[in-house]
Amino acid sequence: MPKQSETQRGTVERVMHEYKEGELKIGGGKGPRVKSRKQAIAIALHESGSTNRESPAKNSRNLARTKSKERRGETAEAETEGKRAQDRSIAKGENRGRAASSGGESTKASLYAAAKKRGIEGRSSMSKAELQRALSH
């Protein structure tokens, strides 16, 4: 099975959290609560687009639909704990793999975001090294 991306991993963590808290329901929140751990895993893989039972195109559509639902705050976690709690747990799940693998080194995207925040001119045409130099001043 291929490795999951950070967004997929975050979605799986959110769904499993909903299951553990007793908030995960069958049929997009319309049916009864999920009691089986196996069914919760199946729902998590389906929502994250990680299942090996569907085509890659269908998986990417599932992930896009789930991320859209999370942004709108239409998950069980957002309904019970509030949108801010959901945003925190999603961000935690997506950032978990990045901090450990980067070894303390920033990505070009994160350097660009920091340069944008500080209002550095010409940042769009800068290389990673140039962004690091501009931010160190």
For the chain, give every domain's residue range. Answer: 6-104, 106-137
Residue-averaged pLDDT of the chain:
81
Mean predicted confidence (pLDDT) in 14-33: 85
pLDDT digits (tens, 9 = 90+) for 77-130: 777 777 666 666 666 655 554 444 444 568 888 899 999 999 999 999 999 999
Whether this prediction's pTM lies above 0.95 is answered by no
Q: What does the chain look like in DSSP terms, one character per residue? A: -PPPPHHHHHHHHHHHHHHHTT--BSTTTTSPBP--HHHHHHHHHHHHT--SSS-HHHHHHHHHHHHHHHHHT-SHHHHHH-HHHHHHHHHHHHHHHHHHHHTTPPPHHHHHHHHHHHT-TTGGG--HHHHHHHHH-
**CA-wise closest residue to 74 among 59, 86, 91, 92:** 86
What pLDDT score does 93 carry?
A: 59
